[in-house]
Amino acid sequence: MEEQQYRFETQVIHAMQSPDEMTGAICPPIFQTATYLLGYAGTGDNIVFNGSHGYTYTRTANPTTTALEKRLAALAGTEDCVVTASGLGAISAVLHTLLQPGDHVVAGDVIYGSTTTLFQEHFRKFGVEFTYVDTADLAAVEAAVRPNTKLLYIESPANPNLKVSDIEACAVLAHAHQALLAVDSTFAPMPIQFPNRLGADICVYSTTKYINGHGTALGGAILGNKQLLEPFRTYGVKLVCANPASPFNSWLTMLGLKTLDIRMRRHCEVAMEVACFLENSHYVEKVYYPGLESHPQYQTASRQMNGLYGGMLAFELADGIGGHSKLNFAKRFLTKLKLITLAASLGELDTLIEHPASMTHRAIPAEERLKAGITDGLVRMSIGVENPKDLIADLQQAFAAAEKD
């Protein structure tokens, strides 16, 4: 309880961390085990198997994973957290656990590519209906709600164009229609934004990204109140999706979590410098970064992102540079980079860059892709923690080399 009074920078180091009871180890041990000694509990007709130490089998619960769950819940200020084997596993568990055939979901039109595939290819088969709308436009969200709408699903900032949705307003809207609000906050982890505090019922993370932060383990997390999360623990994650995190991955994620605050502040600082450079570059038509006043939802971002705007940005290349089409220029430019790494993931210490139209969002039909603003000239960057001057110099030399090519 006392921990609640500490500031985030202190909590991220100490919250729900206690030395190992048996050895005094400060860094928590990894319980690399599947099975636990069983005891008996109850009497008479009531005799039930029970793990004598509270654990029975790692698909149900594991002490290393429990330690991570407790730390994440304490940091988010939520009653509970359930950790999964991947971010997509967390999203899958949310829909599997909360929805039934015939239910309707209003989802953002710009969301993680594999999330769209999961909704369209998998959940529609089981009778769940989806409407995709611009969730930054509340009137559009309101108009999409139906009597059977059970879930409003948003990503903010969204992948890949950094669109920001007003989480608080979306929560009010969802609740007015007896629906739940789930927010994928992967792009803006703590301490940038706390969706549950803004009224979201569920917050999901791909911990693979910033929370782990080092690109060493897949993972996902679902945060919310105890009552809402209970079926995930007893049913959704344990049985239906059967996708608990491995003890080693939970441990690696916990290790990364310790530096989340210092990493995020650095990511934000470097990203702002790179965004300003790009905004002034004639090779670039438009920059999407929530911290720029030119961002369409700058006001909303300033309200809900705690004065930090994250490490993700995207930009639209200018047309006709060196006589090239946007697609050709994008391809040439990306191959000329020397320091910045071409890779699909994000949230790591190294700066990563990718081309959504040909990489992460290639599965989406061109027409829908373009409608959502994922053009041939859109480039997405996950800004690392390097010196921004070196990143800017690399971008500049790659632009110039691609122009001449």
Ligand X SMILES: *Cc1c(COP(=O)(O)O)cnc(C)c1O
Give whichever of 88 and 271 is closer to ligand X, judged by the CB atom: 88
One character per residue 215-234, x = contact with ligand X (rule: CB under 6 A): ---x-x--------------
The Cα–Cα gap between 200 and 185 comes to 11
The Cα–Cα gap between 167 and 175 comes to 12
Give whichever of 110 and 270 is closer to ligand X, judged by the CB atom: 110
Residues 67-106 interacting with ligand X (rule: CB under 6 A) = 86-88
Number of residues in contact with ligand X, rule: CB under 6 A?
16
Please indicate whether residue 112 is annotated as part of the active site.
yes
Closest separation between CB of residue 196 and ligand X, Å? 17
Closest separation between CB of residue 284 and ligand X, Å? 23
Give whichever of 105 and 321 is closer to ligand X, judged by the CB atom: 105
The Cα–Cα gap between 142 and 149 comes to 11
Closest separation between CB of residue 312 and ligand X, Å? 9
**Binding region for ligand X (CB under 6 A) out of 56-64, 136-144, 181-189, 349-357:** 181-189
Catalytic residue of the set 71, 80, 109, 112: 112
Residues 32-61 interacting with ligand X (rule: CB under 6 A) = none
Give whichever of 103 and 184 is closer to ligand X, judged by the CB atom: 184
Residues 342-381 interacting with ligand X (rule: CB under 6 A) = 346
Closest separation between CB of residue 352 and ligand X, Å? 12
**Binding region for ligand X (CB under 6 A) out of 65-73, 139-147, 179-187, 330-338:** 179-187
Please tell me whether residue 249 binds ligand X under the rule CB under 6 A: no
| Structure token digits, residue 45 | 């007709």
Give whichever of 55 and 187 is closer to ligand X, judged by the CB atom: 187
Closest separation between CB of residue 332 and ligand X, Å? 26
Please indicate whether residue 184 is annotated as part of the active site.
yes
**Binding region for ligand X (CB under 6 A) out of 134-142, 172-180, 183-191, 236-244:** 183-191
Catalytic residue of the set 6, 40, 59, 389: 59
Catalytic residue of the set 163, 209, 238, 263: 209
Contact 162, 295 (CB under 8 A): yes
The residue within the footprint of ligand X, chosen from 80, 134, 155, 261 (CB under 6 A), is: 155
Closest separation between CB of residue 165 and ligand X, Å? 13
SS (H, E, C) the chain: CHHHHCCHHHHHHHCCCCCCCCCCCCCCCCCCCCECCEEEECCHHHCEEEECCCCCECCCCCHHHHHHHHHHHHHHCCCEEEEECCHHHHHHHHHHHHCCCCCEEEEECCCCHHHHHHHHHHHHHHCCEEEEECCCCHHHHHHHCCCCEEEEEEECCCCCCCCCCCHHHHHHHHHHCCCEEEEECCCCCCCCCCCCCCCCCEEEEECCCCCCCCCCCCCEEEEECHHHHHHHHHHHHHHHCCCECCHHHHHHHHHHHCCHHHHHHHHHHHHHHHHHHHHCCCCEEEEECCCCCCCCCHHHHHHHCCCCCCCEEEEEECCCHHHCCHHHHHHHHHHHCCCCEECCCCCCCCCEEECCCCCCCCCCCHHHHHHCCCCCCEEEEECCCCCHHHHHHHHHHHHHHHHHC
Contact 135, 207 (CB under 8 A): no
Contact 106, 153 (CB under 8 A): yes
When CB distances to ligand X are compared, the closest residue is 87
Closest separation between CB of residue 126 and ligand X, Å? 20
Closest separation between CB of residue 343 and ligand X, Å? 12
One character per residue 106-135, x = contact with ligand X (rule: CB under 6 A): ------x--x--------------------
Give whichever of 113 and 388 is closer to ligand X, judged by the CB atom: 113
The residues of the shown chain that bind ligand X, judged by CB under 6 A, are 86-88, 112, 115, 155, 159, 184, 186-187, 206, 208-209, 218, 220, 346
- Mind telling me the catalytic residues? 59, 112, 184, 209
